[in-house]
């Protein structure tokens, strides 16, 4: 299930109903790019676990009821979130136009009792997904879940201390929720009678439309007559303010027969197994990478040890031959190319030693001794 801008619009509405004015009571990071913020709704006397995921495959924001295990030692990002957000109140949830950017606004007090405001901004952008903790006053990034080197993103700084800048805006794309040009909609429907082609054109002109959402809109527009095109357009997007209607729409799109009380429950059902498989695959890939690294490292080590062993054996032979030549110096005739001597290191077994005829017997002995050293 792809979370586009229109679905995020509905998710935002659901989260606002349950979470606004809640107090942060706990923060954890069970997985590398996912955090859980436990919020206490004082009016409802209920704790909600808000999942904010910057997973490259399943980035999303939702309330989750799936149990999770905290790591024994929290990482730096978790510690930073706890430092700034523990005990804070969630004052608002906003969306950047109809883009896949959702902003959680928190209000807290520092050690001196002074009020300060923070944004926790989730950008849902596939492999570029990220989660930022930002100071509202100066828009400075306090920390983010995924640090990006400057050479990987020249448009904006994605490191602590940088100024938070919204993702690059898609030029000439309009927010469909506040679009009011009825003539443009009529012209678009008339120009593109094919639903698939119209859907692609709608994606070109409007923010936050996945192809499946754009195709649903195209079908709705083609079912109307020209006089009602704009009414159908407005009604289509108005339904994304109706949570129950969108739950039913998602069930139909994903062929789900279960009953869900909220979009978050539906997302739990859809993503639970997928996300777990993704985590297992990710861990598996990491383990394979580590095993390959260690295997290559050990292969190189074995190769080096074999070489050192062979060199040591060869050096030992040089030492023995040098000592034997020194011991039996009187048996070696000048200009001899080869001699066989009894090796007293090996039960007097005969050993053949090559000699340089241009060297004297003592020089040959010294030559082998030097090779050993």
How far is Cα 234 from Cα 177, in angstroms, rounded to an integer? Answer: 8
Residue 89 lies in a domain: yes
Domain termination residue (choose one: 148, 169, 190): 169
The secondary structure of 26-43, three-state, reads: EEEEEECCEEEEEEEECC
- Contact indicator for 353, 340 with CB cutoff of 8 Å: yes
Helix (H) / strand (E) element for 144: namely strand 141-144
- Contact indicator for 27, 35 with CB cutoff of 8 Å: yes
Residue 212 lies in a domain: no
Domain termination residue (choose one: 169, 192, 221): 169
Confidence of residue 278 (pLDDT cuts 50, 70, 90): low
Among all chains, which residue has been given the structure tokens 């979130």?
81
The chain-wide mean pLDDT, for the chain, equals 90
**Structure-block tokens of residue 148:** 């990006």
The CA-based dihedral angle spanning residues 85, 89, 92, 95, taken in that order and rounded to the nearest 10 degrees: 20
pLDDT digit string, tens, across residues 7-50 = 999 999 999 999 999 999 999 999 889 999 999 998 888 999 99
**Structure-block tokens of residue 317:** 């032979």
Closest alpha carbon to 190 in 232, 234, 229: 229
Residue range of the domain that includes 360: 310-372
CATH number for the domain that contains residue 47: 2.30.310.10
Residue 276 lies in a domain: no
The average pLDDT across 83-92 equals 96
Residue 2 lies in a domain: yes
pLDDT digit string, tens, across residues 326-373 = 888 888 888 888 899 998 888 889 999 899 989 988 888 888 888 777
Among all chains, which residue has been given the structure tokens 């100066």?
138
| pLDDT at residue number 34 | 94
Domain termination residue (choose one: 169, 196, 217): 169
Higher pLDDT, 314 or 196: 196
What total number of domains does the chain contain?
2
Residue 192 lies in a domain: no
Residue 199 lies in a domain: no
Confidence of residue 171 (pLDDT cuts 50, 70, 90): confident
Give one DSSP letter per residue of 43-104, joined into a string: TTTEEEEEEEE--TTT-EEEE--------SS--HHHHHHHHHHTT-EEEEEEESTTSSEEEE
What is the separation of C-alpha 145 from the centre of its chain, rounded to a whole number of angstroms? Answer: 9
Residue 235 lies in a domain: no
Please tell me the pTM assigned to this model: 0.76
| pLDDT at residue number 19 | 97
């Amino acid at each position: 299930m792809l979370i586009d801008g229109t679905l995020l619009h509905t998710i935002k509405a659901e989260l606002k109903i349950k979470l606004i004015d809640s107090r942060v009571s706990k923060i954890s990071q069970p997985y590398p790019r996912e955090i859980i913020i436990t919020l206490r709704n004082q009016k409802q006397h209920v704790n909600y676990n808000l999942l904010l995921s910057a997973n490259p495959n399943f980035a999303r924001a939702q309330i989750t009821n799936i149990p999770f295990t905290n790591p024994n030692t929290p990482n730096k990002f978790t510690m930073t979130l706890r430092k700034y957000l523990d005990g804070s109140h969630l004052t608002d949830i906003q969306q950047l136009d109809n883009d896949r950017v959702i902003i959680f606004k928190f209000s807290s007090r520092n050690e001196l009792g002074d009020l300060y405001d923070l944004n926790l901004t989730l950008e849902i952008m596939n492999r570029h997904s990220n989660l930022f903790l930002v100071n509202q006053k100066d828009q400075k990034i306090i920390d983010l879940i995924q640090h990006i080197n400057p050479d990987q993103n020249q448009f904006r700084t994605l490191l602590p201390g940088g100024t938070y800048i919204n993702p690059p805006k898609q030029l000439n794309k309009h927010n469909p929720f506040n679009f009011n040009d009825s003539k443009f909609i009529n012209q678009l429907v008339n120009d593109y009678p094919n639903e698939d082609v119209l859907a692609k054109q709608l994606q070109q002109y409007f923010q936050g439309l996945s192809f499946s959402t754009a195709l649903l809109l195209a079908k709705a527009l083609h079912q109307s007559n020209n006089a009602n095109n704009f009414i159908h357009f407005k009604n289509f997007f108005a339904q994304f303010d109706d949570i129950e209607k969108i739950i039913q729409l998602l069930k139909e799109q994903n062929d789900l027969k279960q009953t869900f009380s909220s979009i978050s429950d539906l997302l739990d059902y859809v993503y639970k197994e997928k996300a777990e498989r993704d985590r297992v695959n990710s861990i598996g890939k990491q383990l394979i990478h580590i095993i390959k690294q260690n295997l290559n490292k050990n292969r190189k080590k074995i190769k080096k040890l074999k070489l050192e062993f062979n060199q040591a054996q060869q050096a030992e032979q040089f030492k023995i031959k040098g000592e034997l030549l020194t011991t039996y110096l009187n048996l070696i005739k000048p200009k001899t190319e080869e001699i066989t001597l009894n090796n007293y290191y090996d039960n007097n077994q005969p050993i053949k030693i090559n000699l340089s005829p241009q060297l004297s017997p003592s020089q040959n002995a010294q030559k082998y001794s030097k090779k050993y050293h």
